[in-house]
Structure 1
Amino acid sequence: MDRRTFSRLALSGIGLAMLPRSVAFGATAMPSAGVPSPVPMPAAVPPFSQPTAYAAKPYARLLDRARAALDRHGGSIALRDRVALADFTAASRDLRFHIVDLISGQASSYLVAHGRGSDPAHSGWLQSFSNEPGSLATSDGAYRTGEIYYGVHGAAMRLAGLERHNNNAEARAIVIHGADYVSEDHIASWGKLGRSEGCFAVARHMLPQVLGLLGPGRLLYADKL
């Protein structure tokens, strides 16, 4: 009796093999032997693509914008299985950086800082965006994740701005990196995170997971609703 093999979807990302099993997703089994193969049909719509699957999530509206950006910048985004959302509607003390798996619907959420130029009074809330060099502000819109490198902050991931209001990201060295001022201890002491110079700064101990889940060639979408 013939045997059919199982297919497995290998979701790419730097260091993914080192992450918990919950972030790796396999394909379902093929039909058992002896059962006629059905006529090939279009791939089923992933469950998470249905609005009811995420309508109650706090990032649902931002995810809708990110999915539209995926379509708008499809030629620039090689991997469409996961997206990162920076929801600057929330205060810096909140978990407002979400990495969402568009196939399973699972998500991981993290702290992320905004730029000092976006919050001059250091209120803990992003007040405005800017794409201007020297502004020290966060820029909104769609980014493509790039290579991991080692610089003044240690490991970091380059970002390419895909829109006119964030297209200076590379020139401004806007990246994802770890920072000591992004932590629960900092929130306990100050009620908010510290501020970056426009970068997406996350907690140092969470950086390997963030970089591993993202990897190069995925979408990061930032906005304030």
Structure 2
Amino acid sequence: MFEIQNYVGFIGAIIVFQLIPGAGTIAILNATARNGISAGLGAVFGTLLGDFVFMVAALAGLAAVMQQNPFLFECLQYFGALYLCWLGLGLIRAKITPEKAHQEPKKSAWIYLKQAFFVSITNPKVMLFFVAFFPLFLKADASHVTLIAMMVHVSMMSLIYQTLLVLLGNALALRLKAFPFARTLATKLAGFALIAFGVKLAVNNR
């Protein structure tokens, strides 16, 4: 279908890829927990935008350029790692009182969109994943239409999964608001998780 080789396997691989939690997932859940569905959806579109940029870059051959310039690749990785650690430290240091747990300061979805986009775009390994992923399901005579179809599949399935993640995360966040300690614990864990992703990215960069 769509000239995609092993179409069923392609769909299955996308599903598995979505189920693997990453920094983008944490950014989406954090935004949802803080400011509800609109903020969560803002983070979703930020993540999708970052992934889309990397898909286009991968298909345009920029990954090959980055592989030929290791210093540029390493700088981007370290920058992304530092940014994730900075976000995680902010969550760990955040003080949540019972009053604050019931009334989180409102922020626009645009802010969370930019944060999630930045988290996504500072992880160049996402682009390398697409470089390795797409060729597995491409025929030798594949056209530009096939490449576009593959990008649309990844984007639409990501949108569906991440939107469900926002809805479920919002329902959980509403329950946690009645328990400040649980809300604090969840926020701290999210912060440590972001730092862990950052450290892992930096270590793998050696």
Write 1 or 2 for the structure with the bigger share of helix: 2
Write 1 or 2 for the structure with the bigger share of strand: 1
Give the TM bin, normalised by the shorter chain. under 0.3
TM-score norm. by structure 2 comes to 0.24
Q: Which has the larger radius of gyration?
A: 1
